[in-house]
Amino acid sequence: MKIHAFRLKPGCDLKSEIDKYVVENNITSGVILTCVGNLSEATLRMADASIINKYTGSYEIVSCVGTLEKNYSHIHLSLSDKDGKVIGGHLKIGSIVGITAEIVIGEIRNLKFQRKFDEESGYNELVVTKIQDETSS
């Protein structure tokens, strides 16, 4: 596994910047190992795919998990407010870094992630393909 780490500054869009980093670094199968920081705005899709909530304030990132590939990222985010109340959902564009965001991505070099339509779920779901590569480890 190759490890990538970077920091985002205030005003950056968390999802856009993660997606951009994955494309620029040609990551075909990545996982978010950790992400800590703060958001001043958050846009999250709830479990019902039609509900998107926007939050404005100061929120600590308490958990961020996801699978990443060049054409798609599937990221879930949990945030806490000043009272410790936790909210969470599917990360959407419009989640703006407040103070900082520190992201660490693990790149799994012998796998390739893709999305294909799954009739059972009705969504594009993860398909994992094993690949051989001299740099795999």
Q: Count of H helices and E strands in the chain?
A: 1, 8
**Residue 105 main-chain phi, psi, to 5 deg:** -115, 135
How many domains does the chain contain in total?
1
Measured CA to CA in angstroms, residue 53 lies from 5, 12, 76, 92, 114 at distances of 29, 19, 14, 10, 27
Name the DSSP letter for residue 20: H
- Whether residue 115 lies inside any domain: the answer is no
| Residue range(s) defining the domain that contains residue 95 | 2-109
For position 67, which CATH number holds? Answer: 3.30.1330.80
What are the pLDDT digits (tens) for 92-129? 999 999 999 999 999 999 999 999 999 999 989 999 99
Which residues contact residue 83 at a Cβ distance below 8 angstroms, ignoring those fewer than 6 apart?
Answer: none
Output the pTM of the full model.
Answer: 0.91
100, 37 Cβ separation under 8 angstroms? yes
Task: Look at residues 41, 37, 12 and name the one whose alpha carbon lies nearest to residue 104.
Answer: 37
Average pLDDT for the chain = 94
- Whether residue 122 lies inside any domain: the answer is no
- Whether residue 9 lies inside any domain: the answer is yes
- Whether residue 125 lies inside any domain: the answer is no
pLDDT for 136 equals 47
